[in-house]
């Protein structure tokens, strides 16, 4: 079964071809980061227009690299939500129209399900069941994943997502958009322990998170400094921020493993690329005898491969595809709405 995957929920256009027998054949990606950087954040209207420009060349690139023809595609999977309405509509309209022309069905995919399942693209994938820590720009959730479409929410952020906290703190330190990855590079040059920032909800007794207070603590720290900020201050503050957020994410993940009795942890979403988070979790995994899995770095952030994979796994699990031609997206779409209907 050959599945074409299309991702356009935010600021990356991704196209991929996934074969149920051979795995990922090819994927092509265009990031709009450089375009949005000028404005200090994603401009939804510009995002939609850019998806329109990129989608056909990227499709040609992926199909060419996979060495397949478009009419060999069995179904077209695309991100139906959550995300920016206009951006989602580009991927949806393109996927539905293409499938209509090819006379093939479509599989609307939940973006977060794509992230959740993305570690299954690696050479050494986890097996079900596992605990998933989903840490992206828009979401921070801990979940028990029993199978495709079988997701139980264990805890989530009550305010900012982890990636959002990285990006907002980076902005406060004067870093350009999107600051998360830059902040983490800067943190590596910083000295731990110079500044002490709060570990929000560490002792809340549940598996929920809250990161807006941490961001405010960074703001307070910045206001206490003489301006302009020195490079040493920025690096030490970045380090303090990263230490705090990583400690909370790791502690709650360990608690989720203990609570569920599971021995596998999957980390997905953009913040899953963070080196300190990975190193700390790897350390804990050795000490506490569990296994931790990450998507390949290129599949941590948004991409078409995870959408093609999720579409394929859904079909294999018995989830019906639908006839092409329905142009509908779901910008707001809780992941739990699709749980329990994987098969
Ligand atoms: O999963 P993703 O593409 O976004 C959503 O689907 O929402 O992740 C993007 C997020 C951004 O907030 C970005 O700053 C963050 O992931 N990110 C990082 C790193 N690389 C990307 N955060 C911390 N450390 C990194 N190395
Ligand atoms: Zn994403």
Whether 249 lines ligand 1, by a CB cut-off of 6 Å, is no
pLDDT at residue number 318: 87
pLDDT in tens, 311-334: 999 999 988 888 998 999 999 999
Same domain for 275 and 216? yes
pLDDT at residue number 343: 44
Same domain for 251 and 217? yes
Same domain for 154 and 276? yes
Q: What atom in ligand 1 is closest to the CA of residue 184?
A: 24
More confident residue, 178 or 268: 268
User: Residue 85: is its pLDDT beyond 50?
Assistant: yes
User: Residue 72: is its pLDDT beyond 80?
Assistant: yes
Q: Which two tokens stand for residue 203?
A: 């002792």
Same domain for 273 and 171? yes
- E strand map for the chain: 2-7, 12-19, 23-31, 75-81, 106-110, 130-135, 140-147, 150-156, 264-268, 291-293
pLDDT at residue number 13: 98
C-alpha angle 64/94/147, rounded to 5°? 85
pLDDT at residue number 177: 86
Whether 163 lines ligand 1, by a CB cut-off of 6 Å, is yes
Same domain for 213 and 110? no
pLDDT in tens, 244-267: 999 999 999 999 999 999 999 999
User: Residue 21: is its pLDDT beyond 70?
Assistant: yes
Number of structural domains in the chain = 2
From 161, 166, 272, the mutation candidate for ligand 1 (largest count of ligand atoms within 8 A of CB) is 166
Same domain for 257 and 146? yes
Omega before residue 178 within 30° of 0, cis = yes
User: Residue 183: is its pLDDT beyond 80?
Assistant: yes
Average pLDDT, the chain: 96
Whether 82 lines ligand 1, by a CB cut-off of 6 Å, is no
Same domain for 326 and 273? no
User: Residue 127: is its pLDDT beyond 90?
Assistant: yes
Distance of CA 191 to the CA centre of its chain: 29
Same domain for 256 and 134? yes
pLDDT in tens, 33-66: 999 999 989 999 999 999 999 999 999 999 999 9
Q: What atom in ligand 1 is closest to the CA of residue 135?
A: 1
Q: Which domain holds residue 194?
A: 127-294
Between the CA of 111 and the centroid of ligand 2 the distance, in Å, is 6
Domain contains 121: no
Domain contains 343: no
Same domain for 309 and 290? no
């Amino acid at each position: 079964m050959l599945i074409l995957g299309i991702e356009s929920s935010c600021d990356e256009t991704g196209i991929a071809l996934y074969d149920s027998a051979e795995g990922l054949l090819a994927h092509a990606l265009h990031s709009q980061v450089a375009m949005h950087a000028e404005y200090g954040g994603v401009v939804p209207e510009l995002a939609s227009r850019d998806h329109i420009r990129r989608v056909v060349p990227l499709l040609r690139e992926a199909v060419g690299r996979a060495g397949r023809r478009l009419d060999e595609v069995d179904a077209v999977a695309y991100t139906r939500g959550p995300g920016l309405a206009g951006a989602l509509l580009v991927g949806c309209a393109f996927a539905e129209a293409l499938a209509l022309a090819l006379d093939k069905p479509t599989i609307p995919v939940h973006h977060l399900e794509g992230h959740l399942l993305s570690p299954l693209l690696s050479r050494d994938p986890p097996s079900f069941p596992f605990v998933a820590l989903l840490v992206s720009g828009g979401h921070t959730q801990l979940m028990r994943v029993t199978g495709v479409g079988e997701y139980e929410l264990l805890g989530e952020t009550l305010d900012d997502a982890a990636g959002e906290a990285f990006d907002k703190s980076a902005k406060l330190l004067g870093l350009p958009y999107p600051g998360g990855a830059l902040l983490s590079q800067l943190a590596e040059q910083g000295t731990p322990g110079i500044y002490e920032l709060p570990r929000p909800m560490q002792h809340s007794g549940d598996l929920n998170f809250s990161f807006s207070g941490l961001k405010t603590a960074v703001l307070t720290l910045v206001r206490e400094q003489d301006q302009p900020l020195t490079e040493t201050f920025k690096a030490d503050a970045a380090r303090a921020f990263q230490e705090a957020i990583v400690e909370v994410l790791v502690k709650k993940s360990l608690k989720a493993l203990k609570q569920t009795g599971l021995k596998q942890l999957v980390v997905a979403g953009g913040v899953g690329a963070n080196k300190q988070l990975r190193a700390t979790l790897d350390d804990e995994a050795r000490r506490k005898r569990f296994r931790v899995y990450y998507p390949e770095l290129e599949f941590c952030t948004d991409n078409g491969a995870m959408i093609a994979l999720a579409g394929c796994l859904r079909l294999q699990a018995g989830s019906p595809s639908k006839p092409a031609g329905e142009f509908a997206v779901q910008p707001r779409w809780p992941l739990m709405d699709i749980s329990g209907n994987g098969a």
